A and B are shown apart, each in its own frame.
Chain A
Amino acid sequence: MNLIRDEEQEQLARSVRDFVASSRPLERVRQLRDSRDALGFSRAVWKQMAELGWTGIGIPEEWGGSGLGFPELCIVLEEAGRKLMPEPMLSTLLLGAQSALLGGTPEQKRALLPRIVAGEAIVSLAYEERQSRYDLGSVETVARRSSSGVFLHGEKVHVLDAPAAETLVVSAREPAGITLFLVDAKTPGVEIVAERRIDSRSAALVRFNGVEVDQAAGLGPAGSGLELLRSVVDRATVGLCAEMLGAASQAFEDTVEYLKARRQFDAPIGSFQALQHRAARLLIELTLARAAVAAAAASVDEAPERLPRMASLAKARVSETFVHVANEAVQMHGGIGVTDEFHIGFYLKRARAAELTFGGAAWHRRRWAELAGY
């Protein structure tokens, strides 16, 4: 598997980094939070990202995509993650687009993917329920088929970017097993209640009160949803890991700069060995995390049979690393680190939220052991 970047990928990383910086994400995240913005991101910025071609990465050219692969998508996510970009990449490009890409019929792909690439359609995946706790097969939402259509009943939680979604992908149980359905968010009976979470990433509780969809709304055959969901969530997990790696790297670099600038006892605090060794430990952890993310990103296109293991490897490692980096970043900044006015606290909150999305370290270690047969 290819673990290092080539010159074109470096070039992509640089241009995304410049754009991300110019869009002032940290200021926007704060402002969106304080104004209790209904969407939680900027449609204008999302449209600009589409014009730059980044919403088409990971989507084949026949559906309007750029033809670039998953490692490139992870580069965009890593750079966006550095500044906690609030735009709906995780929901739309990973959970949404990948559901359609891996499970959709040609008609469904044609209807959805080009609109995603154009920055027009926001798509959310509604799969978590109160009781499910990372178990993708724990689905109590039901789908009842009748001669006229399919009726969905149930409640989903933590549906990322649902307040802005045009289309929802919903997991529901029917006699054949779990199936994923495409649902227009405006269908009668869909009720979206925004959640306010610690990291300001937009999410919602979504109720399906006897929502009627067409028989053809299923992604793939009836009962094929669990396997599809696993593939989609594995890919999204790798993407989230790339985003977390970017955020952890930025928080670490900001902290190292602070250690050089802040003076106490007539010396930069970075001259004290107690802090030097802890900073060096963080670099070591980031080195391991970066290698795991690179391998997981490469496995999607190059070695899909290894993806489940690599996704769990990356998520376990990056979850621990990001939380550790964020805790240390706040501690090393001292008093200013715990003020809302200073930005480092946003990284602490994102670290926790990201750790508990798609399963934390212990959950993924357990999965790794299961996949290895112990």
Chain B
Amino acid sequence: MSELEAFRESMRAFIAEHAPKSLYGTRRGRFEAYWGGRKAKPEADVKRWLDVARERGLTAPTWPREFGGGGLSGEHARIWDEELERLALPPPLVGVGLTMIGPTLLDYGTVEQQREHLPPIVRGEIRWAQGYSEPGAGSDLASLSTRAVRDGDFFVINGQKIWTTHADKSDFIFALVRTNPNVKKQLGITFILIDMETPGVSTRPIDLISGWSPFCQTFFEEVRVPAKNVVGPVDGGWTVAKALLNYERSMIGEAMSGDLADGESELVARARRALGTPRGPLPDEMLRQEIAQTAMDIECFALVIAGLQQAAQKGQKPGPESSTLKIVASELKQRRWELAVRVAGPEGLGWEGPNFDDRDLATTREWLRSRANTIEGGTSEIQLNIIAKQVLGLGTKA
């Protein structure tokens, strides 16, 4: 038996012994699992699953053991995930701490910052939010104006952040703040970690067109944050911010490939209900073409991801395809849900209430939610700029 096979066996045994039976088959989207945090009240089995997994370092399988990670290679971590997927078990813990700020601290944080912040993430004790955009700084992120002024061992922060996902449920926020307003805008930005229980921090939810909203505005009024919470150099936060953005975009792309996986079967099932055709060829050739077209592009996208994973396992650097993931995934998600609503026909117009099928109601909300996918995490237009400039080398006027 190879070492990897032996590892897979050990993961199977671990799961068989420890995974609560009530969680089998409950895996949904990649981020539909326990997010942790001070305010969370997990069910007993969810908590038990988290505790046994973190004892083995399996909430953050690739992080170093000294911070509570599993110290595993990417290949081993994939096996762990494959075994969870096989039994449709949810990951024991998900969130921005594991996917965004944690990796960023591993790359750019001091040892003290790593020791302070990584273990609580791994244990599911601290939930993180992201404070990047501002009302006046969307695609032009570097024009942000939330001010941080040095006062001894502290920075005093005033301003507001927008689209702070789940800020109302989070314990810490990593934020970009302006420490120097007198230089080129990218050169006066600092990356800082803020405890949201600090006096002067407040949040307010934002309602979206879907009626669902994880988003908030977060306000900072004379908030005193220890200077030791600055990640990277003061005024040197833009580099850290961009590194995290790259991480965020490929995470969004990969996460969405999981969300897209059931696209074809779900669209076909919906079409069968809507058209009253329980089996055989769909009688509407145009609809059939559209479903196949979307399903085939989803399959192509899954193959791009699979190719990137194979390349990563062989230690090859990701090619230009990685820069296309976010835009492809977000647009496919929109196409999928928009088509689903059209397949449902007038039944897809329900907003709420018992007159409508719950699946149709959920689909309509998903469609509205998906309109944000090409805006959040860098708009499609910004992604196209990045591809044109950084991959194709199409410069500015010179």
Contact = CB atoms under 8 A, between A and B. Distances in A.
A291 B324 contact: no
A313 B299 contact: yes
Interface in B366-393: 381, 383-385, 387-389, 391-393
Interface in A311-348: 312-313, 316-317
Interface stretch (B110-118, B189-197, B300-308): B300-308
Nearest to B322: A287
Interface in B307-321: 307, 310-311, 314, 316, 320-321
A365 B294 CA distance: 10
A292 B300 contact: yes
B291 interface: yes
Contact of B307 (A4, A281, A289): A4
A370 interface: yes
B289 A313 contact: no
Name which of B316, B321, B381, B389 has the most chain A CB atoms within 10 A of its CB.
B321
B293 to A, nearest CB: 6
Contacts of B395: 260, 268, 270-271
Given A2-B310, A374-B288, A374-B291, A288 B392 contact: no
B72 interface: no
B242 interface: no
Nearest to A368: B292
A270 B394 CA distance: 5
A283 B268 contact: no
Label chain B's interface by main secondary structure.
helix
For chain A, which range describes its interface: under 10, 10 to 19, 20 to 34, or 35 or more residues? 35 or more
Given A4-B311, A362-B289, A369-B292, A283 B324 contact: yes
Nearest to A252: B392
Interface residues of B, number: 47
Nearest to B304: A291
B346 interface: no
Contacts of B292: 365-366, 368-369, 372
Contacts of B381: 277
A152 interface: no
Nearest to B300: A288
Given A287-B321, A313-B296, A317-B300, A271 B398 contact: yes
Contacts of A316: 293, 296
A308 to B, nearest CB: 13
Nearest to A267: B397
Contacts of A280: 383-385, 387-388, 391-392
A3 interface: yes
A271 B392 CA distance: 11
Contacts of A283: 320, 324, 387, 391-392
A3 B303 contact: yes
A291 B392 CA distance: 19
Label chain A's interface by main secondary structure.
helix
B327 interface: yes
Contacts of B281: 369-370, 374
Contact of B300 (A259, A276, A291): A291
Contacts of A289: 300
Given A2-B310, A256-B394, A368 B303 contact: no
B396 interface: yes
Contact of B289 (A259, A273, A281, A366): A366
A2 B324 CA distance: 21
B310 A260 contact: no
B288 A369 contact: yes
Interface string B311-355: 100101000110010011000000000000000000000000000
A289 B300 CA distance: 7
B167 to A, nearest CB: 32
Interface string A129-153: 0000000000000000000000000
A52 interface: no
B297 interface: yes
A284 B303 contact: no
B325 to A, nearest CB: 9
A288 B304 contact: yes
B388 A279 contact: yes
B378 to A, nearest CB: 13
20 contacts: A4-B307, A4-B314, A260-B394, A267-B398, A276-B389, A276-B394, A277-B384, A279-B388, A280-B388, A283-B324, A287-B328, A291-B300, A291-B306, A292-B300, A294-B307, A317-B300, A366-B285, A369-B292, A372-B264, A374-B282
Given A284-B328, A289-B300, A313-B296, 15 more contacts: A260-B395, A266-B397, A268-B394, A270-B394, A271-B395, A271-B396, A279-B392, A287-B320, A288-B300, A292-B299, A362-B289, A365-B289, A366-B285, A366-B289, A369-B281
What 8 A-B pairs come out closest when comparing CB atoms? A276-B388, A291-B303, A280-B387, A3-B307, A267-B397, A270-B394, A365-B292, A288-B300
Interface of A: 2-4, 256, 259-260, 266-268, 270-271, 273, 275-277, 279-281, 283-284, 287-292, 294-295, 312-313, 316-317, 362, 365-366, 368-370, 372-374
